[in-house]
């Protein structure tokens, strides 16, 4: 006979496990909690989706450490239950397979999302499938067939398709193949059909043609989408927080700063689209890398150097703005102490650090990112894995930075407790948060603090700009917490 105490103990442990499972079970998302993924298939000139980025040219990362993001049949983020699933074996080579995706397409149809985006991956199997992509013959390209309540049959080929491979960072959208399985994920995009007021979707099928098959495996279809997150909105600074302001209205504005590099190409000018305001016009010239090198030492405006600080400025890229060859540096906060944290002078935790801004190459594409320039941090800190700074790009997908518009850029640095990886970097564009990291080790000694505001506009690396181009900055603010 089983011991009664043992039975009771076992039952209690089982109950605790069930409670724990229920506690962590994901809550189904509503359609209002789902947002589109910014992705591109890429081509030979444009870096698109890969294992780390959904849109590499715009530096839009996948939001998790997984390849891709998706919503499953239960409306669960990264859930395991596909909307449709088929087993694929070598017997299907050269044949077309049809996934019944009616429920998925109907759900997407009820949203304001402009396209039908699908993700395919292997379901608990080691098989790998190779399908024809849209670069193959039209008869073998991925096809979505929708039948409506009026009897209308709408057949469309994918407008974008690619696959992600765990073995490479490259985007593979120009390939004639699509792969799905244990190491690969396929992404597909179709145009959303335009239906009449009384027309509904009755059925939908996704057709793919098998090119090769390795082993046998189940391939599931999911909704390629992200869970919407309400970004942190930055409030305006109160007057008590502000320790420095500069609007470049003074003809002798340089006297308000600690140093101005003589190579700087900057002058006071009327602010574009703000005829009553002045701004600082900064010129990038093909003859040199430096556009502006302007420094404000914190000890010049207060007794002690801070350990946490906000830096804000307004940015306007002129119509001739075209960043190439790897981009360059934008302003930020730093504690270099003229020892380390720039120019290949690596940070070791005791000699200096920096968190300047970074800009990437201007994107040339066929979507909302066309003519936009990615922004981020360029940070020197001991754990960045290199002698130079590490680029950490912001997610500006909801507000790409383009010429002809003013943007309010805000950056925040909070130095770590010496020796501990708890330093913070944050960024906002137009008061909407676009970046946050809270695990950075900037320093191992309390002697390092926020020493300077560094208005560093610099093209490169090594490469100089390919043409003359200008930007404007205005309303520079330093503020405490």
Question: Which CA distances in Å does 237 have to 247, 304, 410, 411, 431?
Answer: 16, 21, 11, 13, 11
If asked whether residues 206 and 274 sit together in one domain, one would say: no
Mean pLDDT for the stretch of residues 134-151:
94
* Total structural domains within the chain: 2
- Which residues does residue 279 pair with via DSSP β-bridges, in sequence order? 269
Secondary structure letter of residue 238 according to DSSP? P
Q: Which residues contact 167 (CB under 8 A, 6 or more apart)?
A: 183
Mean pLDDT of 90-98: 96
Same domain, 212 and 296: no
Say if CB 410 and CB 316 are below 8 A apart: no
pLDDT-derived band at 11 (thresholds 50, 70, 90) equals: very low
131 within 8 A of 208, measured Cβ to Cβ: yes
| CB contact at 8 A, 84 and 99 | yes
242-246 and 469-479 beta bridge pairing: antiparallel
Query: Domain for residue 347, yes or no?
Result: yes
Judge whether 14 lies within some domain: no
**What are the C-alpha distances in Å from 381 to residues 330, 377, 411, 434, 460?**
17, 12, 17, 21, 19
- Under a CB-based contact definition with an 8 Å cutoff, are residues 180 and 122 in contact? yes
464 secondary structure, DSSP code: P
pLDDT digits (tens, 9 = 90+) for 31-78: 899 999 999 999 989 999 999 999 999 999 999 988 999 999 999 999
The answer on 335 and 219 residing in a single domain is no
Same domain as 257, residue 217: no
Let me know the angle formed at the C-alpha of 297 by 341 and 251, rounded to the nearest 5 degrees.
120
Kindly state whether residues 255 and 223 are assigned to the same domain.
no
d(C-alpha 117, C-alpha 108), whole Å: 9
- 226-239 in b/e form (b: 16+ CB < 10 A) is bbeeeeeebeebee
Residue 5 has pLDDT above 90, yes or no: no
Do 48 and 84 fall into the same domain? yes
Q: In this structure, are 223 and 248 located in the same domain?
A: no
Q: Which residues pair with 129 in a beta bridge?
A: 180, 213
In a domain, 327, yes or no: yes
The span from the CA of 289 to the CA of 77, in Å, is: 45
Rg (CA), the chain: 27
CB atoms inside a 10 Å sphere around CB 431: 14
Token readout for 129 is 């499938």
Mean pLDDT of all residues in the chain? 93
- Same domain flag for 291 and 356: yes
How far apart CA 79 and CA 101 sit, in angstroms, is 17
Last residue of a domain, one of 173, 195, 227: 227
- SS3 call for 272: coil
What number of other Cβ atoms are within 10 A of residue 470's Cβ?
21
| Alpha-carbon gap, residue 90 to 252, rounded angstroms | 76
Residues 413 and 342 in one domain: yes
- Residue ending a domain, among 227, 262, 294, is 227
* Nearest-angstrom CA–CA distance, 225 and 221: 12
Give the residue numbers spanning the domain of 175.
32-227
Residues 129 and 258 in one domain: no
Domain membership flag for residue 317: yes
Mean pLDDT over residues 9-24, rounded? 40
Asked if residue 326 has pLDDT above 60, the reply is yes
Give per-residue pLDDT as tens, 335-354: 999 999 999 999 999 999 99
The answer as to whether 262 is a domain residue is yes
Q: What's the CATH number where 392 sits? A: 2.60.120.200
The pLDDT of 390-415, averaged and rounded, is 98
> Could you read off the pLDDT of 410-459 as tens digits, one per residue?
999 999 999 999 999 999 999 999 999 999 999 999 999 999 999 999 99
Q: Is the pLDDT score of 7 beyond 50?
A: no
Q: Is residue 205 within 8 Å of residue 98, measured between CB atoms?
A: yes
Q: Is pLDDT larger for residue 113 or for residue 125?
A: 113
Q: How far apart are CA 401 and CA 362, in angstroms?
A: 10
Count CB neighbours of 272 within 10 A: 21
Of the residues 202, 227, 252, which one is the last residue of a structural domain? 227
pLDDT over threshold 50, residue 24 = no
Q: How confident is the model at residue 126 (pLDDT cuts 50, 70, 90)?
A: confident
Which pLDDT score is estimated for 124? 77
202 found inside a domain: yes
The answer on 95 and 203 residing in a single domain is: yes
Residue 26 lies in a domain: no
Number of other residues whose CB lies within 10 A of the CB of residue 76: 17
Cα 162 to chain centroid, rounded:
19
SS3 160: strand
369 inside domain: yes
276 and 332 share one domain: yes
| Predicted confidence (pLDDT) per residue in 167-212, tens digit | 999 999 999 999 999 889 999 999 999 999 999 999 999 999 999 9
């Amino acid at each position: 006979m089983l011991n009664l105490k043992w039975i009771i103990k076992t039952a209690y442990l089982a109950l605790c496990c069930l409670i724990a499972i229920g506690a962590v079970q994901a809550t189904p998302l509503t359609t209002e909690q789902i947002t589109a993924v910014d992705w591109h298939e890429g081509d030979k000139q444009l870096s698109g989706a890969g294992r780390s980025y959904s849109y590499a040219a715009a530096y839009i990362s996948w939001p998790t450490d997984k390849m891709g993001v998706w919503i499953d049949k239960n409306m669960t983020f990264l859930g395991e239950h596909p909307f449709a699933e088929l087993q694929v074996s070598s017997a299907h080579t050269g044949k077309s397979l049809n996934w019944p995706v009616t429920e998925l397409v109907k759900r997407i149809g009820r949203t304001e999302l402009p396209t039908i985006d699908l993700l395919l991956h292997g379901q608990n199997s080691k098989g790998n499938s190779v399908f024809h992509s849209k670069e193959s013959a039209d008869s073998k390209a991925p096809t979505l067939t929708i039948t409506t309540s009026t009897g209308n049959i709408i057949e469309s080929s994918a407008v974008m398709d690619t696959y992600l491979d765990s073995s490479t960072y490259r985007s593979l959208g120009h390939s004639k193949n699509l792969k799905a399985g244990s190491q690969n994920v396929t992404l597909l995009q179709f145009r959303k059909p335009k239906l009449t007021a009384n027309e509904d979707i009755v059925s939908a099928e996704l057709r793919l043609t098998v090119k090769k098959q390795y082993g046998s495996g189940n391939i599931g279809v999911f909704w390629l989408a992200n869970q919407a997150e309400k970004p942190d909105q930055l409030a305006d600074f109160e007057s008590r927080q502000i320790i420095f302001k500069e609007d470049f209205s003074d003809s002798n504005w340089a006297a308000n700063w600690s140093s101005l590099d003589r190579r700087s190409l900057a002058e006071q000018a009327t602010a574009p689209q703000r005829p009553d305001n002045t701004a600082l016009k900064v010129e990038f010239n093909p003859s040199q890398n430096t556009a502006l090198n302007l420094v404000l030492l914190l000890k010049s405006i207060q007794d002690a150097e801070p350990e946490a600080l906000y830096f804000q400025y307004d940015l306007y890229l002129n119509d001739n703005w075209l960043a190439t060859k790897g981009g360059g540096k934008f302003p930020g906060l730093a504690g270099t102490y003229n020892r380390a944290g720039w120019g290949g002078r690596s940070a070791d935790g005791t000699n200096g650090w920096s968190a300047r801004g970074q800009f990437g190459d201007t994107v040339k594409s066929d979507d909302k990112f066309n003519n936009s320039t990615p922004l981020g941090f360029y940070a020197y800190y001991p754990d960045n894995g290199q002698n130079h700074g590490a680029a950490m790009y912001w997610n500006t997908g909801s507000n790409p930075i383009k010429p002809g518009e003013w943007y309010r850029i805000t950056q925040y640095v909070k130095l770590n407790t010496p020796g501990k990886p708890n330093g913070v970097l944050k960024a906002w564009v137009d008061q909407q948060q676009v970046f946050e990291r809270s695990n950075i080790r900037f320093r191992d000694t309390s002697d390092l603090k926020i020493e300077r505001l560094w208005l560093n506009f610099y093209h490169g690396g090594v490469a100089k700009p390919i043409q003359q181009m200008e930007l404007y900055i205005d309303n520079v603010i330093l503020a405490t917490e």
